[in-house]
Structure 1
Amino acid sequence: MLAVLFGVMAGAIMPFQTSVNNRLRQSVGAPLLASFISFVVGTFSLIIATWITSGQPYPSLGNTSDEPWWIFTGGMLGVVLLTGNILLFPRVGSVQTVILPITGQILMGLIIDSFGVAYAPQTPLTLVRILGALAVLFGALAVVGVFSKTTTGQGQAQGASVWLWRLLGVVMGMCQATQVAVNGYLGTVLGSAIESALVSFTVGTTVLFVLLVLTRTKWRGINGAGEKNPWWMWLGGVIGATVIFSTAYLGPVIGTGVTVVVMLLGMMLASLLIDIFGFLGSPRRRIHLAQLIGLLVIIAGVALIRI
């Protein structure tokens, strides 16, 4: 039960990371550059954490020599999700950008648990777990407001091409669930979830650096927002490092599928609180009854999947 609560708390900080990184993006101008800075900060914070916990500022990779190559792909999977969000948002709108990856996460989480993908703990796929997953998806639809507002907008993709972008959204979510399993197994091999997170962030930082070089993204300073930069805009990497550590720790303990849905519960709960109180400069928004009902449905779905 404590692991489940920890997963909810880990999910709850994810929307704050979005707000923090968005503020950083406003200052530096380029989304990829903001992501790279966030990853660099996260990598250095994990180096310090590794140094404190193991006595050395780098992971012990000796036990990985006989392991499959894919144990190092967690960071690349994270970059797929990050870059996918940048590409998806202007083409399908904000609601679908949230819902499509959630669909992929839930689907892939159940597949991973059912077949033990990436050496994840196996949990039989039962009717109760399927109903729980459907409840989580339905609740998420309600929380993001799909039942109270439209999902189309100016400039979004139309016709057959929009389905390719929607497919990308689902694949992004599947990558995120796979990242949980991969980093969880890497943490088991290394004997440390912190070191697993450090490897993941180092790989992600390297990939983002390559993308910056290929796209020729230029540094424009940190005054793009035209106002004083708050100190907390640099904390996105620390939050991200905490989330990746949490997934590496929780995956082998409660399973990939449960990790995905309990973190989703925390994410949805925190998103509503951010809308209500306008944390970190976010605009305050009115919360509808359907969103509160959706949150309760998510909680019921998590309970079914956990059972």
Structure 2
Amino acid sequence: MIIGILLALVAGAFVGLQNIFNRHLNEHVSSWFATTFVLLTGSVAALIIGLLLQGTKIFDVSGMKPSYWFFGLVGVGVIYTMIQAMRRLGPTKTVLISIIAQLAFSLLFDVTGFLTLPQVDLKWQDIVGVLLIISGVLIFNLKKKVPLVRVK
């Protein structure tokens, strides 16, 4: 479990970094090119790392359902919408809102057994947890921005 928590923390750091990189990239090129560039460079990196770590076994798709070939389209949606949201909201609000959406939809997918996930029971603690996170984000966004005073 500790390794899972550490991996989730690293994934969160990567998402935060990715959003900042996407925003900077989008300042110089269109959102669609930025999305293409991010996915292309990520695909090349994943291919090289996969080949180094697992060799040609990474190409074994014998047990894969045909519908899975289209799941990469979700990645296009993720990157494009994050870039657009970042331009309008900034990094912090974009990540906070996307985390709430991820949590809420993941809970919905777990409860409904969406896409053949094992169905789990909805507990009142789950709902309270989501509401607490949403409340925290609202409180975070209500605070006044105080300009920093530089000391010379």
Please indicate the TM-score interval, normalised by the length of the shorter structure: 0.7 to 0.9
Residues 52-73 of structure 1 deviation map (CA, whole Å, 9 limit, x = unaligned): xxxxxxxxxxxxxxxxxxxxxx
Match of 1:220 in 2: 60
The superposition leaves residues 58-108 of structure 1 with CA deviations (integer Å, 9 ceiling, x where unpaired) of xxxxxxxxxxxxxxxxxxxxxxxxxxxxxxx7x634xx2xxxxxxxxxxxx
Query: Counterpart in 2 of 1:188?
Result: 27
- Counterpart in 1 of 2:92? 257
Counterpart-to-counterpart distance in 2, 1:264 and 1:250: 13
Q: Do the aligned residues in 2 keep the contact of 1:187 with 1:196 (CA within 8 Å)?
A: yes
- Equivalent residue, structure 2, for 1:176: 15
1:92 counterpart residue number: 3
Partner of 2:134: 299
Shift of 1:246: 1.2
- Of 49, 71, 96, 1:211 maps to 49
> Residue type of the partner of 2:33?
E
**Which of these residues, 110, 116, 119, is aligned with residue 284 of structure 1?**
119
Cα distance, 1:235 vs structure 2: 2.5
3-state SS, counterpart of residue 185 of structure 1: helix
1:276 Cα offset (Å) = 1.6
- After TM superposition, the structure 1 = structure 2 runs for residues 1-307 of structure 1, keeping only pairs within 5 Å, are 92-93=3-4, 96=5, 166=6, 169-190=8-29, 192-215=30-53, 216-218=55-57, 219-223=59-63, 229=65, 231-307=66-142
| TM-score, length-scaled by structure 1 | 0.43
Segment drifting more, 253-262 vs 169-178 = 169-178
**What is the RMSD of the two structures over their aligned residues, measured on CA atoms?**
1.9
Q: Is there any run of 5+ residues in structure 2 with no aligned partner, and where? A: 143-152
Closer/same/farther in 2, CA of residues 172 and 267 from structure 1, 3 Å limit: closer
3-state SS of the aligned residue for 1:286? coil
| CA displacement, residues 268-301 of structure 1 (integer Å, 9 cap, x when unaligned) | 1111111121110111101111110011112112
Question: In 2, distance between residues paired with 1:203 and 1:305?
Answer: 34
Q: Once the 2 structures are TM-superposed, how far is the Cα of residue 206 of structure 1 from its aligned partner? A: 0.8
Alignment match, 1:104: none
Aligned counterparts of 1:262 and 1:288: Cα–Cα separation in 2: 23
Determine helix, strand or coil for the equivalent of 1:239.
helix
CA distance in 2, matches of 1:172, 1:296: 23
Q: What letter matches 1:209 in structure 2?
A: L
Change (3 A) 1:205 1:303: same
Q: Given residue 106 of structure 2, which amino acid in structure 1 is its aligned partner?
A: S
Quick one: which amino acid aligns to residue 110 of structure 2? D
1:169 Cα offset (Å): 4.5
Q: Secondary structure at the match of 2:36?
A: helix
Q: 1:276 touches 1:285 (CA, 8 Å); kept in 2?
A: yes
1:258 touches 1:305 (CA, 8 Å); kept in 2?
A: no
Distance 1:269 1:289 in 2: 14
Higher relative contact order (CA 8 A, sep 6+): 1
Question: Residues 240 and 262 of structure 1: is their aligned pair in 2 closer, same or farther, counting only changes over 3 Å?
Answer: same
Report the counterpart of residue 33 of structure 1 in structure 2.
none
User: In the comparison of the two structures, how many residue pairs are matched?
Assistant: 140
Q: Distance in 2 between matches of 1:288 and 1:92?
A: 26
